[in-house]
Chains A and B, each alone.
Chain A
Amino acid sequence: MPPVYGGGRELTMKKLLAAVLVLTVSTGLFTGCIGTKKTSSGKKVPDIIWYYPGDKLTDLTLVQDEMNKQLEPELGIWLQMKTVDSSAYKEKMNLVVSSGEKFDICFTANWSFPFMSNVTSGAFIPLSELIDKEAPKLKQALPEYLWGSTTVDNEIYAVPNYQILPTWFCLSTSKELKEKMNFDFSKIKDLKDLEPYLAAIKQEEPDLYPYMPSYSNVEMKYEQIYPTDFVVVGKTDSGIKAINRFELPEFKDYIKLMHDWYTKGYIRKDVVGASSDSSSLLNLKYAFFWGTIKPGGEIENMQKYKKEIVDIPMCDPYTQTSATARTLSAVSRTSDYPEKAIKLIEKINVDKDFFNLMAFGIEGKHYTKVSDNVVHITESTGYKMDAWKFGNQFNAYYKEGQATDTWEKTMKLNDESTISPIWGFNFNPEPVKNEISQCSAVVTEYKFLSLGAEEPDLNYSQFIQKLKDAGADRVTAEVQKQIDQWKEKK
């Protein structure tokens, strides 16, 4: 065996090892230096960073520059809009906030990057004083009652982005189907009134699933209190009693009804795993399914389903207390320039032209004006922004094809719908955190009851017992307590 090592070669090996070590250490330092925060735009005026969910738009920088042409002289800031993938918005923003990263404004809602839990965790700064001092026009630009939902302990914590408020549940079906089957929907007041229609569908249209389970009479009559999964309040209950929705007679009747329909074949057999099947819904494989009514909704449905949809209202339009929390703008506690941030929010909400610049882009390049208020979006425009995430939707131009009275109708609907008796109340879950989480687990476990696939009686009593064991009554009592306290303060 010839010796292949020894003597001088030793040194080379050692050198190699040392080199590797140096490489590793220096890479570490290297990243320390190279990874300097690239966020600063290098401008003389301070940066205002605005996080929002969406897709990175090709022309974002272009439009942003255009916006800054106004912002720099007027407000002395340089706006940087930071897109975060919608699907990851909650996780990413959680980390951004937990790590104390510096930013100024962000989008929040009760369904995405939850507003309430962030308020209690201290992510956002109180805005009442700031708005009064720095952005008085903002207060006036939005209706008084709107601010109620973002007020916690008498402090405003976010600016609502004004848009449609009430939820108006309906059952939907295609017009084509209605005419073919000669359906008359005027008699339908309650979910169970739907039954004869389902029977007809089952007989005449075997290719379709007659019914897609979703909402029930419970949602028609009661409003849920977040973040509990089960405490509700009657929509027209001026006495405001907190109830466990699963103990309501309406719920008991509902699951019996669903099971009945399941056995009769009105609900698809594999309903348990079918929740992710969006294709069937979009292809109108369900004869009847749930939706919501709103002005301009017919056009949206047309685009979505490529067929005309008929809606059967199942309740009155109702604005729940969390309604405005569908889209909000909040100011971060890590912002160095909160006054400038709030002024920016004011501008977006008050300055119509500026809002539309943000919403549609640059005139001529991204859109052309068809008339004073209506625009035609350029084909393959590099800028398609979801303006509802930022400001007052009612300031937006109409898109070609939208009815030009949509905003009027919507605002009318907003004003006329029934407002929740607990408008402005925000439940603080801290005292019953454990019970809420245990109950959440139980509720998810038994959600299959609402799908009708299982026999209700035995399962139901198990469910209620489990909920009680998990502390449901304590949660309900706590909600009632907080509501009573809030009522007194009003």
Chain B
Amino acid sequence: MKRNKENILICSVLFLLSMCCIVPLWLIISISFSAEADIVKYGYMFIPHKIDFTAYEFILKNPQQLTDSYIVTILSSFIGTALSVFIMMMVSYALSRTTFIARKQITFYLFFTMLFSGGMVPTYILITQYLNLKDSFWVYVLPHLVSPWHIVLLRTFFQKQPAALIESAKIDGAGEFRILMQIVAPVAKPVIATVALLGLLMRWNDWMTALLYINDEKLITLQYLLQKMMKDIQMFSQNVENLPQGMSLADLPSESARMAMAVLAAGPMLCVFPFFQKYFAKGLTVGAVKG
């Protein structure tokens, strides 16, 4: 009985926290479906005065561009994350093994870059002048393949693995790489999934790269496209002639468009998240050691 009471308490707290997060989401969705004139009149409301799709129409009016951006974003996010996780997994494992002689040095070497950076100008010069990555798809993938933060996460987790596990594998003559792939990784699914998720999110939300390095509109990512639209909306109020046909400036969905963009940006990732959740499942057997 005590257990039940405790459970109810726990779920209530969690529910409350969830609500704190949902309420603003609700507000944002509601605003995105409101008419601009209503927003001016009534302010932000939790239920739109009348449902209005202008904001979404405005954003989606160029489906070709949107499709291109979706494709670019999906490809770059997933390819980048897959490569990144693989590379980081390897180095994290190596760094977690106390028998690695260069362990301390490489850890420091990687970690140092988290704090010190040359800044935007030298990076830009490197990427555009020497690596010729300007207006290239690979500029989304290559520069951020290694994140020291994620490496630390992975390494910490790998370190926790019982030494017995690894030792028994070595007894049977397995090499380190095989140990990683066949023993440690399956057990480390939760943390690998976390890092993959974090990496995916980071890439999905990135608009800076497109801003700096991409001019070809076929290669811009979703986030950058949305940011651009927002700035364009602001520009429209100064350059009336560029407004799309049939739209009056007063109807220009600026508040609602901003919220619609937030919805479009966050939406896909929220749908992806449940997919990762199955890796957070409890009770992965560590039974191999028992035998």
Indicate yes or no for A touching B, C-beta below 8 A: yes
Q: Which residues from chain A sit less than 8 Å from chain B, CB to CB?
A: 1, 3-7, 9-10, 13-14, 16-17, 20, 24, 27-28, 31-32, 34-38, 55-56, 82-88, 91-92, 95, 98-101, 278-283, 285, 300, 303-306, 379-380, 384, 386, 399
Neighbour of B133 across the interface among A3, A31, A379, CB < 8 A: A31
B164: min CB distance to chain A, Å: 12
Contacting pair A56 B142 (CB below 8 A): no
User: In the bound complex, how far is the Cα of B247 from the Cα of A282, in angstroms?
Assistant: 13
A304-B136 CB under 8 A given contacts A35-B131, A99-B128, A283-B40: no
CB-defined contacts of B90 to chain A, threshold 8 Å: 17, 20
Which residue of B is nearest A10, CB measured? B175
A101-B129 CB under 8 A given contacts A17-B177, A95-B124: yes
CB-defined contacts of B172 to chain A, threshold 8 Å: 3, 5-6
Contacting pair B241 A32 (CB below 8 A): no
> Is B237 engaged at the interface, CB distance under 8 Å to the other chain?
yes
Could you jot down 14 A-B contacts, CB within 8 Å? A6-B174, A13-B175, A13-B181, A32-B131, A35-B131, A35-B136, A56-B217, A87-B234, A99-B124, A279-B39, A283-B250, A306-B249, A380-B245, A384-B242
Which 3 A/B pairs are nearest by Cβ-Cβ distance?
Answer: A35-B132, A87-B231, A99-B125
CB-defined contacts of B291 to chain A, threshold 8 Å: 1
Contacting pair B250 A5 (CB below 8 A): no
> Is B206 engaged at the interface, CB distance under 8 Å to the other chain?
no
Neighbour of A14 across the interface among B169, B175, B237, B252, CB < 8 A: B175
CB-defined contacts of B237 to chain A, threshold 8 Å: 278, 281-282, 304
Neighbour of A37 across the interface among B40, B120, B132, B255, CB < 8 A: B132
> Is B209 engaged at the interface, CB distance under 8 Å to the other chain?
no
> Is B47 engaged at the interface, CB distance under 8 Å to the other chain?
no
B174: min CB distance to chain A, Å: 5
A83-B136 CB under 8 A given contacts A279-B40, A306-B248: no
CB-defined contacts of B232 to chain A, threshold 8 Å: 55, 86-87
Contacting pair B242 A36 (CB below 8 A): no
User: In the bound complex, how far is the Cα of B86 from the Cα of A44, in angstroms?
Assistant: 46
Which residues of chain B (81-112) have a CB below 8 Å from chain A? Answer: 86-87, 90
Taking residues whose C-beta sits less than 8 angstroms from the other chain, chain B's interface range is 35 or more
Neighbour of B178 across the interface among A1, A13, A55, CB < 8 A: A13
- Most chain B CB neighbours (cut-off 10 Å) among A281, A303, A304: A304
User: In the bound complex, how far is the Cα of B136 from the Cα of A278, in angstroms?
Assistant: 36
B5: min CB distance to chain A, Å: 43
Contacting pair B128 A101 (CB below 8 A): yes
A31-B138 CB under 8 A given contacts A5-B169, A283-B37: yes
Which residue of B is nearest A2, CB measured? B291
> Is B240 engaged at the interface, CB distance under 8 Å to the other chain?
yes
CB-defined contacts of A283 to chain B, threshold 8 Å: 37, 40, 250
Which residue of B is nearest A1, CB measured? B291
User: In the bound complex, how far is the Cα of B128 from the Cα of A282, in angstroms?
Assistant: 41
CB-defined contacts of A1 to chain B, threshold 8 Å: 168, 288, 291
B238: min CB distance to chain A, Å: 9
B285: min CB distance to chain A, Å: 12
A5-B178 CB under 8 A given contacts A278-B254, A283-B250, A300-B240: yes
> Is B12 engaged at the interface, CB distance under 8 Å to the other chain?
no
Contacting pair B178 A9 (CB below 8 A): yes
Which residue of B is nearest A6, CB measured? B173
CB-defined contacts of A86 to chain B, threshold 8 Å: 231-232, 235
CB-defined contacts of B86 to chain A, threshold 8 Å: 20
Contacting pair A386 B40 (CB below 8 A): no
A305-B120 CB under 8 A given contacts A31-B132, A83-B215, A86-B231: no
B110: min CB distance to chain A, Å: 16
Contacting pair A24 B87 (CB below 8 A): yes
CB-defined contacts of B217 to chain A, threshold 8 Å: 56
User: In the bound complex, how far is the Cα of B36 from the Cα of A95, in angstroms?
Assistant: 37
> Is B189 engaged at the interface, CB distance under 8 Å to the other chain?
no
Which residues of chain B (170-208) have a CB below 8 Å from chain A? Answer: 172-175, 177-178, 181-182
A304-B138 CB under 8 A given contacts A5-B174, A98-B125, A99-B121: no
Contacting pair A38 B135 (CB below 8 A): yes
Which residue of B is nearest A284, CB measured? B250
Contacting pair B248 A379 (CB below 8 A): no
CB-defined contacts of B37 to chain A, threshold 8 Å: 279, 283
CB-defined contacts of B133 to chain A, threshold 8 Å: 31, 35
> What 0/1 pattern do residues 245 to 266 of B give for CB contact below 8 A with A?
1001110101100000000000
> What 0/1 pattern do residues 278 to 291 of B give for CB contact below 8 A with A?
00000000001001
Contacting pair B182 A5 (CB below 8 A): yes
Which residue of B is nearest A303, CB measured? B240
Which residue of B is nearest A12, CB measured? B178
> Is B49 engaged at the interface, CB distance under 8 Å to the other chain?
no
Contacting pair A85 B40 (CB below 8 A): no
B13: min CB distance to chain A, Å: 33
B184: min CB distance to chain A, Å: 13
Given contacts A34-B136, A282-B252, A285-B40, 16 further A-B contacts (CB under 8 A): A1-B288, A10-B173, A10-B174, A27-B142, A35-B132, A87-B235, A91-B212, A99-B121, A279-B252, A279-B255, A282-B249, A283-B40, A283-B250, A304-B240, A384-B242, A386-B239
CB-defined contacts of A303 to chain B, threshold 8 Å: 240-241, 249
> Is B144 engaged at the interface, CB distance under 8 Å to the other chain?
no
- Most chain A CB neighbours (cut-off 10 Å) among B131, B134, B168, B232: B134
Neighbour of A31 across the interface among B142, B227, B288, CB < 8 A: B142
User: In the bound complex, how far is the Cα of B288 from the Cα of A95, in angstroms?
Assistant: 55
> Is B61 engaged at the interface, CB distance under 8 Å to the other chain?
no
Which residue of B is nearest A377, CB measured? B241
Contacting pair A279 B288 (CB below 8 A): no
User: In the bound complex, how far is the Cα of B172 from the Cα of A399, in angstroms?
Assistant: 84
Contacting pair A4 B249 (CB below 8 A): no
User: In the bound complex, how far is the Cα of B169 from the Cα of A311, in angstroms?
Assistant: 85
> Is B211 engaged at the interface, CB distance under 8 Å to the other chain?
yes
